[in-house]
Amino acid sequence: MIKCKILFTSFLMVIFVISSVITTLHAQDVVEIDSTIIKSDSNKLITTAYGDIDISGYIQPQYQVAQSAGIHSFAGGDFSEHSNNRFALRRARVKFDYLYDKPESGPIVFMAIQINATEKGVALRDMYGQILEPKWKKFSLLAGLFSRPFGFETNMSSSVRESPERTRMNQIILPSERDLGVMVAFNQPLSGKVIKGKLKFSAGIFNGGGLSSKTDFDNFKDVIARVQLISVRLSDKISMGLGFSGYYGSVRSDSKSIVYFSDGAIHLDESFHNIGKRVRRAYYGADFQIKRTYHNGATELRAEYIGGVQPGTGNSNYTAVPAAGEDIFKRRFAGGYVLFLQNIFSHRHQLIFKCDIYDPNLDFSTEKSQQNDLLYSIADHKYTTFGLGYSFYMNKHVKLVFYYDKIYNEYFKSLQEDIKDDVLTARMQFNF
């Protein structure tokens, strides 16, 4: 722990020295992202008779030091058994966009393919097509593999997100963020005297398994919807955003036993009728963002809350994938995060403060564990993570990030200590 703190302090001192040397860069060279309007920074490279092709991407090499060797981590994956530090390519993405927008030729067509290639292998991240009606340009239809329309952080690209990773809860309930399905979207500019901004509504039907499943593992589909107000201007310098999300789906039980928690005890629903039964998977969420700009920077606050019912297994609170004879555990969960961003000196320097909490089982507490430790597993631990970071935008193509995750876990009767799983991340990001 002391060693990680010393490393973190040293990194901050080095980066402030670097930033003082490069003061000749202009503020307009920085990629300024308003969180209420996530903007694309790709350049139009190829224009053809059939449409415009854009190529964009980014690379995130990083170095990490963990508090202990072999820890289970949500800061870029688990560490190997005998290692507490590593170099890695966290992400290396290339995206190809195609836009066909000919006024005399019917609807506007947009297609995207995104590939991630790191030392761990090559994987597809996005592949979808979108049809936009050309007259009002308010309605669109998407089909393929793309991000689920749930929550703010889920849909915020890793190329512009300030913290290195999404929250623990987000990675568990919506791993890989993407899924196969079809979605309709509606966009309406708001230019009245009371509200100036944009209203957006999205709703889709998805397989439910995400990228972790190569095919749909049951006969059920999940419905996701989101409504949001984007870039609402409260004044010339203050803007805000607001969103509400809902997720309703299910997984198939492959066992005659379904386990649920209530009043500090485990209850067993056991019947042969449970084989093939739908087990509910339902989430609801709300998010809020507000930003105040200054001549040399900005202050921003974001908050998001998600709750619901998660069908997992005995030792995992990830969404259950049916396996022969394995019982499904239904847990009520809740969590969220608060993120505070503050520019210092100029737009190039940014401090990051983040706190996220994830309670995977609202019917579990340390007191109940003291009474009967055998009723609960590692999947019932509540985690609180405090993040402190600093970003330096050298120019619109290079960003440096130093970030420290301080993680606290709920105690069990058999685990009366905090797991030594803090992580320090030093990352460079190159984008084009």
Model-level pTM?
Answer: 0.86
What are the DSSP calls for 19-87, one per residue? HHHTTTS-GGGS----TTS-----EEEEE-SS-EEEEEEEEEEEEEEESSTT---SSSSPPPTT-SEEE
- The pLDDT, as a whole number, for residue 40 is 38
Q: From CA 394, how far away is CA 284, in angstroms rounded?
A: 38
- The pLDDT, as a whole number, for residue 98 is 93
Helices H / strands E in the chain, number of each? 3, 19
**CA atoms within a 13 Å half-sphere pointing along the CA-CB vector of 414:** 8
Residue 332 amino acid letter: R
pLDDT tens, N- to C-terminus, the chain (432 residues): 444 444 444 444 434 333 333 333 333 322 233 333 333 333 445 566 567 899 999 999 999 999 999 999 999 999 999 999 999 999 999 999 999 887 777 788 999 999 999 999 999 999 999 999 888 889 999 999 999 999 999 999 999 999 999 999 999 999 999 999 999 999 998 887 767 889 999 999 999 988 877 777 788 999 999 999 998 999 999 999 999 999 999 999 989 999 988 876 788 899 999 898 999 999 999 999 999 999 899 999 999 999 999 999 988 999 987 666 789 999 999 999 999 999 999 999 999 999 999 999 998 766 665 555 666 788 888 999 999 999 999 999 999 999 999 999 987 766 678 899 999 999 999 999
What are the DSSP calls for 109-129, one per residue? EEEEEEEEEETTEEEEEEEEE
Q: Residue 21: give the domain boundaries.
A: 2-431
3-state secondary structure of 361: coil
Write the burial class of residue 80 (CB in 10 Å: 0-12 exposed, 13-18 middle, 19+ buried).
exposed
- The pLDDT, as a whole number, for residue 382 is 92
407, 421 in Cβ contact below 8 A?
A: yes
List the CATH number of the domain containing 148: 2.40.160.10
* Number of structural domains found in the chain: 1
Query: Chain centroid to CA 214: how far?
Result: 21
- Report the Cα–Cα distance between both ends of the chain, in Å, rounded: 37
30, 402 in Cβ contact below 8 A?
A: no
| Structure tokens, 192 | 């009245």
219 Rama sector, left if φ>0, alpha if ψ -120 to 50, beta otherwise: alpha
Q: From CA 324, how far away is CA 192, in angstroms rounded?
A: 57
For 171, the enclosing helix (H) or strand (E) is helix 168-173
Q: Which residue in 65, 2, 69, 14 sits closest to 424, CA to CA?
A: 65
Q: What is the pLDDT of residues 368-409, one digit of tens each?
A: 655 556 667 888 889 999 999 999 999 999 999 999 999 999
Q: From CA 256, how far away is CA 270, in angstroms rounded?
A: 6
Q: Which residue in 337, 315, 297, 321 sits closest to 381, CA to CA?
A: 315
